[in-house]
Structure formats: structure tokens, C-alpha cells
Structure 1
Amino acid sequence: MDRVIAKKKWSTKKILTIAGVTALVALLAGSYYFTSGKSRLNVDTERITISEIKKGIFQENIPVNGIVLPVTTIYLDATEGGRVEEKYVEDGAIMTKGQPILRLSNTDLELSLSNQETQVFNVLTQMQISKNNADQNTITRLNQMAEVDNAVKEAERVYNVNRKLYAQKAIGSQEYKSSENLWNYQKTRKDLTTDILKKDSLSNRQQIAQMQQSYERMQNALQLMRKKVGDLVVRAPVDGQLTSLDAEIGQSKNKGERLGQIDVLSGFKVRVDIDEHYISRIFTGLNGSFTFAGKDYRLTIKKVYTQVANGRFQVDMEFEGEVPKGIRRGQTLQIRLALSDEKQALLLPKGGFYQQTGGNWIYKLNDAGTVAYKVDIQLGMQSPDNYEVLSGLQPGDKVITSSYENYGNMQELILKKQ
């Protein structure tokens, strides 16, 4: 009896045919994939950082470091050079105005003071001698004047008597003329003596005035010399804290050399270093902020130092409102210095990608999140956390912001989880 044999739907030949066609299609797809002109690289998603583009408030600011300093600092320089003989206080002491800090010795200066004092004494003595001589000369001239005045009066009396007697012809003309000539002579003599007395008096006054001026000048010089010697004792010019004292007993200090400084404790400021790249955008009135002990504080630029050294320049910032408690001189603060006002913008988080792209392009993910491909972008200003996106991206776009150092010139990244 014949048995019915069921026909097989998937014969070996059919299976091999389908497998061959599938392999051919895969080969063609792979060939197209790898020859389409786009270089690809498989990337583990756990090794990259994916960020989302969001719209939010943006303010351009830069991170800078500042050092806390007193609002006012008075420098102590050696007015005169000398050897340090005594130190009355140590570095860090709280000083009051006029309180001595240290004493210098300078034998040359002290000897000059002694010589100056001797010169002043000599001038004073000479001036006294000259005054006495002038007084004596004046007395002598006055005595001469008195004698001449008496002689004039006597000659006038004799002349008047002889004039009457001559009119009465009691005496001859010879005797009368003689008395008249004597009277004229005595009058001339009186005029000369008066003139000499006036000139002597004027000369004496001028001489005394000149000596007085010379004496006063030497007295002023002596006072200056005494002040120089007094400056060998260095004193606090204002109330404050003594800092940076650089002087030890026996040490020699030159004139003008820095000895230390007095910090006025009425408040603090912050001295900030900024890269010269921003010098054209920094001006007084710009604000900054920092966090201290978990609390935010504000600062304002009050002074800009335009001198550039080693590619950096400095500004002074003062606290707006409350000053942090416990802040100390020399403390370093990390400040966010604002260069613009707040505004709405597309925000791209910062990352290592910028070092390889310069902000000109970025890897953007497709909707499925399986492939990232290059897109051109344009960035604007920056803050410590974000870049401002001007073009190339939209809110909700996801991009790779970690470093691209190992990607070379790959056009697309195939994102896979290991």
C-alpha cells in the first residue's frame, strides 16, 4: 500500500537560498555603510557626558581670585638709615598713633646734630657781640651829636652877641666875622654828624636784621636736624595693626628701605588679578560675587590698575553691604566677576569638548539617542558653568560635552551600552 509523503515547506535548498540572499543584502548594506563617506566610531555611553540644551537666565562672568587686604595701608620706610638698636613691639601688634616701634642709631647724624648746635650757638654769640658793638657805636655817635649840638648853640650865642656889638661898633669886623664863620662851621658839622648818625643807625639795623635772619635759618636747620635724629625712633603714624615688620636688632637699614606697614582696621578690600584679555571690558562699578561659609556676598570694583605685568592687571573691589564675619587679611577668595547683565539665552553646559572644537562644532544626538553627529554651532559669551548658544542648536537638543580627544575626525559616533 502506498504511503503519502508530506511536502516540506522549508527545503534545504530554499533555506540556503534565503540565507544567501540575506547575506548578500547585509553585504551590500555594510558596503554602503562603510563606503558612504562618513567615518564612524563606536562609543560607550557610560564614558561620555550628554547634556541637554536649555533656555534660561544667562550672565557672562569670569572666575577670578582675589586677596583680602585692609582698606588703607600705611607703609613704614626708614626716613634715615641706621642700625637697629631696639625693637619695642613684634609683628602683628595693635598700635596706637605715635607709639614707638623700633629705634635706629646713626652716629654720623648725631654728630651732625652736635655740630649744628655748636654753629647755632656761635652765631648767637657773634650776633650778641655785634649788637653790643652797634649799641656802643650808637652811644658814641650820640655823645658826639650832643657835643656838636652844644657847640652850635654856643657859636650861635657868640655870633648874636657879636652881631649886636658890631652894630654898636663896640668890636671890630674881624671879631664879628670870626664868630659868624664859627657858627656856620658848627652848623655844617651838626648836619654831617646827624647824617652819619642816621647812616650808622640804618647800617646797624640792617646788620642786626641780617644776623637775625641767619640765626633763624640756622635754628630751622637745627630743628630739621633734630627731627631727623628723632626719626631714628620709628613710630606708628596711625592706629592699626603692625604687619610685615622686617627688622632685627643689629641689622643695618638704608635710607628709604621698607621696614613694615600699618594696616588700618576700619575695613577690608579685595585685590583681584585679571587676565589682560579682559582689560578693555573692566571698569569701575562692575559687580562680583563669592560664597563664604555657605553665604553669598557681593563686591564692586572701585579702582582699576591699568598697568599690565606678566599678562595680568589688578583691580580693587570693596564689599557691598555686609562684610563676612571671620574674614582675615591675606585670605584668598574665588570670585565670579560679572561682565554683562542677566538675560534669557540658550545655555550649553561647559565641558572638555571645547578644547578640540574651539566652540565651532559639537556632536549632537539623534532623536533615538543612538547616534551623535557633527553640527556647526556658534557660541557667544560664557560663564563659569555655561556657554551662550547663538546658532546651531535648539532647546531640548542633546549633545556630547565631554572631551573629544579620542575621536579624531570621526563624523558620527555610534552610541552603545556595554
Structure 2
Amino acid sequence: MIKDTSKQDSVVKSRTLSWKKAVGVIAICGTLAITAQVISVADNTGRSFERDALQFATVSRGDFVRDILASGRIVAANAPQVYSPEAGFVDLLVKAGDTVDAGDVIARVVSPALTNELKQQQAELARLQDGLAREQLEVRRETLTLNRSLELAKVTLDAAERENRRAQLSIKKNLISQIDLEEAVDDLARAKLNYRHAQQEVALGKDTLAFELAAASNLVERQQLVVDELQRKVNALEINAPVSGLVGNLMVQTKAAVVAQQALMTLVDLSAYEAQLQVPESYANELGLGMQVVLKVGASELYGKLSAISPEVSNREVTARVRFEHSDIDGIRQNQRLSARILLDQKENVVKVRRGSFMNAGGSVVYRIQGEVATRMDIRTGASSVNEVEILDGLSPGDQIIVSNYEQFENAPLVQLR
């Protein structure tokens, strides 16, 4: 008979944990908790990145300048071409790169046809001038004849009046017959008629002579104009430099045959420069004359305004000209390359952030930083410039976002930052 189980029990001594072992257990538990938290975040984000490999920017509020970038080069504001005035053979008196002053003879065109025509017209002018001189002598002769006939008619009239007075006195004293008196009266009437006709003939003759003289004079004047025009053309065969500067490209060789209005060379006026920009065609409709432009030439920063915009597109670009605000600019050269910022618009008191590669995703998504985690969120952007982007909705001033490329995040909702 078994009374109890006391025979089966054995006494076991209890062992208390030391305080060092207790601290170790607690540390292990804390590490496991932190590891579990990190693992939990990593599970939610799916991605973990070093901070040094990313770029960050802080959203701010202030003035926003909308601009675009363009490249271009320095060009001469005045680079005229020189043309041949007539057909002939050209003698070039300068070479490419020579310095010339305004008015210097830079080329000469030999035109035998024009020179021969000038000589022919000069000979015709001399013939007409001789004809005019002859006509002037004839006018003097005819005028003398007309005056003599008028004076003879006047003498005849005076004699007839004198005979008429004598006949009137004689008839009163019965010294002549009635027939002699009537004859004297008829002679007087005839003399008056002849004198009146002589006056009219002299007036008509002088008008005729004046007309013929004027006609001859007009022929001479007309021919003189022809000669003057040909002389001007011959003088223009010596081509003068229209501006002071450098000889650019030579478009013909010396002694070459040229036609009228054929380009001979280009001159470059070094006293005034402009900038020629190539602007992407997507901004063509936003460009306007007078817009401010900031140009970077080497280490210098210059300012100007749009002065001309090409109406056509070439190679998906629009050509624009910029006139410098100051003419006394040193250190720039023809065809020197430059970059430019064209200021399209300016806004005040807007929310903005520095532009970055995140805009490659369309500018509708950003990763906002909250502690060690960056959260993916939707935003709405407005105007963009070279350096900044306008934020319309989704972010507030003071928010910090990642502005580097988002492709590596693979659309993860959360990104762990280390």
C-alpha cells in the first residue's frame, strides 16, 4: 500500500539570476524591438538609400522668375555685303581679314560696255550743245530782222502822218486838190495797217524763236541727265567700304567676271555687336520683342533685350537677336559662343522649390522627407524655369523633398533614408 508520493519527490535548489544577466536580456530584447521596427519600415518602403546619394531641396515662398535657356553666339550688328554695280571684271583691292575705313576703295569693276556708252552719250551731248549754240545765233539773227521790219514800218507810218498833216494844211489853202488829200489819207491808213501787222509779226516771231530755243535747250538738259547718270554708274565702279571694320568672306576671285548685283564680299562692323540665339521652337509663341535677356559670355554677365525674332523655324529652333543695353562692351569677339536666359514672366509671393531631376517624372509626384522616411505624394506644379518650379498644390513652405531622379525608387510608397 502506497501511503503518499513523498518517496518520489526530490528537493531542487532555486537559482536566482544575477543583475548582469538581467541587463543583457533587456538589451537583447531592445535590439530585437529596434530590428523589428526597421524590418517593419523596410517592409513598407521596399527601398533604402544613403542620404549622400540623394539631392534635397526645401520648399519656400518668394518671387518666381520664369525663364528659358538658349545658346548662341556674338555677331556683328552691322555686317553689310558689297555688290557689283555693273557687269564686268572685278579687281579686288583687299584680302579677307584686312582692316578698312569707311570710304576706302576696296574693289574696282571694269565695264567696257558702260564706259563706251558713256562716251557715246557725251558725244551726243556735245552735238546737242552745238545745236543749241547755233539756235541761239539764229534767234539773234531772226530777232534782228523782225526788229528791223518793225522799225521800217514805224518810219513809213511817221512819213504818212507827216504827209497827211501837210495835205490837210494845203487843202485849206487850196494848194492841192481833193484827190491829193484823199491819197494822203489812204497812205496814212496803209502805213498804220502795216505797222500794226509788223508788231504782231514781231511778237509771233519772237515767241516762235523762244519756243525753238527752249526745245533745243530741253534736249541738251535731257541729254545732260543721261550723261550724268552714266557718269554716276562709272564712278560707282570704284566700290567704297560702307563701314569701318574687317573684310569678311570674299565671294569672288580677283579678275573674275561678274554680273550686276552679284555679291563680292562681306564687311564686319566691329563697333557694334549683337547676340544671335537659337531658341527651341516649343517656346517660340512665348517670345516677344523687348523681353529681358541675361547673357553669359565667358566669365562676364551681360544684359540685353530681344530686338528681332525670326518668323520661321529651322531645325526645330527659332533664331532671335538680342541688342545689348550698353554699347561700350569690351572683351567680346565675333562668333564667340554664349549662353542666355530669356526672362519670360515674373510672379510674386509664390510657393516654389529648386528644379531637379524629379521633374523628369512629369512634376506630379514628389518624395517628402519626414524623419528617416521619404513619403511618396502627389503634387500639382505650375510654371517652371531654369532653376525653380512653381508649386500650386501638395506642398507648403518649409517642406523638404528629394529633387534627384526618382527612377531608382521604382514608385515605392515609402523610402528609407540611411
Return 122-131 or 260-269, whichever deviates more. Answer: 260-269
Q: In the TM superposition, what are the counterparts of 1:54-69 in structure 2 within 5 Å? A: 54-55=59-60, 58-69=64-75
Aligned to 1:308: 312
**Superposed displacement of residue 66, structure 1:** 3.2
Return 335-344 or 221-230, whichever deviates more. Answer: 335-344
Aligned to 1:114: 119
Aligned to 1:79: 85
Instruction: State how far apart, in whole Å, the 2-side matches of 1:322 and 1:119 are.
Output: 54
Instruction: State how far apart, in whole Å, the 2-side matches of 1:268 and 1:223 are.
Output: 39
**Superposed displacement of residue 349, structure 1:** 4.1
Q: How many residues align?
A: 384
Per the alignment, in what secondary structure is the counterpart of residue 196 of structure 1?
helix
Please give the per-residue CA displacement for 1:201-223, whole angstroms capped at 9, x wherever unaligned: 12222222233233223212211
Q: Are 1:358 and 2:362 matched, yes or no?
A: yes
Answer whether contact 1:53 1:393 (CA < 8 A) is retained. no
**Superposed displacement of residue 226, structure 1:** 0.7
**Superposed displacement of residue 327, structure 1:** 0.6
Q: In the TM superposition, what are the counterparts of 1:32-43 in structure 2 within 5 Å? A: none
Instruction: State how far apart, in whole Å, the 2-side matches of 1:5 and 1:206 are.
Output: 166
CA separation of 1:175 and 1:358: change in aligned 2, threshold 3 A: same
**Amino acid across the alignment from 2:116:** L
Instruction: State how far apart, in whole Å, the 2-side matches of 1:309 and 1:55 are.
Output: 38
Please give the per-residue CA displacement for 1:238-284, whole angstroms capped at 9, x wherever unaligned: 33333334232133333333333444333322233334444454444
Which residue among 402, 405, 412 is the counterpart of 2:405?
Answer: 402
Instruction: State how far apart, in whole Å, the 1-side matches of 2:186 and 2:377 are.
Output: 133
Q: In the TM superposition, what are the counterparts of 1:9-20 in structure 2 within 5 Å? A: none
Aligned to 1:141: 146
Aligned to 1:381: 383
Aligned to 2:195: 190
Answer whether contact 1:123 1:215 (CA < 8 A) is retained. yes
Aligned to 1:219: 224
Instruction: State how far apart, in whole Å, the 1-side matches of 2:293 and 2:260 are.
Output: 41
Aligned to 1:332: 337
Q: In the TM superposition, what are the counterparts of 1:163-182 in structure 2 within 5 Å? A: 163-182=168-187
Answer whether contact 1:289 1:335 (CA < 8 A) is retained. yes
Per the alignment, in what secondary structure is the counterpart of residue 266 of structure 1?
coil
Please give the per-residue CA displacement for 1:330-361, whole angstroms capped at 9, x wherever unaligned: 21210122223475655444444434x32222
Per the alignment, in what secondary structure is the counterpart of residue 136 of structure 1?
helix
Superposed CA RMSD: 3.6
CA separation of 1:74 and 1:367: change in aligned 2, threshold 3 A: same
Instruction: State how far apart, in whole Å, the 2-side matches of 1:288 and 1:214 are.
Output: 62
Per the alignment, in what secondary structure is the counterpart of residue 102 of structure 1?
strand
**Superposed displacement of residue 133, structure 1:** 1.8
Which residue among 56, 62, 68 is the counterpart of 1:51?
Answer: 56
Answer whether contact 1:247 1:259 (CA < 8 A) is retained. yes
Instruction: State how far apart, in whole Å, the 2-side matches of 1:46 and 1:254 are.
Output: 72
Answer whether contact 1:292 1:324 (CA < 8 A) is retained. no
Answer whether contact 2:308 2:322 (CA < 8 A) is retained. no
Per the alignment, in what secondary structure is the counterpart of residue 269 of structure 2?
strand
Q: Are 1:253 and 2:255 matched, yes or no?
A: no
Per the alignment, in what secondary structure is the counterpart of residue 64 of structure 1?
strand
Instruction: State how far apart, in whole Å, the 2-side matches of 1:163 and 1:336 are.
Output: 116
> What TM-score comes out, normalization by structure 2 length?
0.78
Per the alignment, in what secondary structure is the counterpart of residue 334 of structure 2?
coil
Per the alignment, in what secondary structure is the counterpart of residue 305 of structure 1?
strand
**Amino acid across the alignment from 1:67:** R
Instruction: State how far apart, in whole Å, the 2-side matches of 1:102 and 1:191 are.
Output: 70
Aligned to 1:126: 131
Answer whether contact 2:76 2:273 (CA < 8 A) is retained. yes
CA separation of 1:5 and 1:280: change in aligned 2, threshold 3 A: farther
Per the alignment, in what secondary structure is the counterpart of residue 299 of structure 1?
strand
**Amino acid across the alignment from 1:212:** S
**Superposed displacement of residue 131, structure 1:** 1.8
Give 5+ residue unaligned stretches, structure 2. 1-7, 13-35
Give 5+ residue unaligned stretches, structure 1. 7-25
Return 394-403 or 380-389, whichever deviates more. Answer: 394-403
Please give the per-residue CA displacement for 1:85-121, whole angstroms capped at 9, x wherever unaligned: x111122332223210101122222222222212212
Aligned to 1:274: 279
Answer whether contact 2:132 2:217 (CA < 8 A) is retained. yes
CA separation of 1:49 and 1:104: change in aligned 2, threshold 3 A: farther
**Amino acid across the alignment from 1:327:** I
Return 179-188 or 360-369, whichever deviates more. Answer: 360-369
Instruction: State how far apart, in whole Å, the 2-side matches of 1:386 and 1:4 are.
Output: 83
CA separation of 1:107 and 1:158: change in aligned 2, threshold 3 A: same
CA separation of 1:322 and 1:104: change in aligned 2, threshold 3 A: closer
**Identity of matched residues, %:** 17
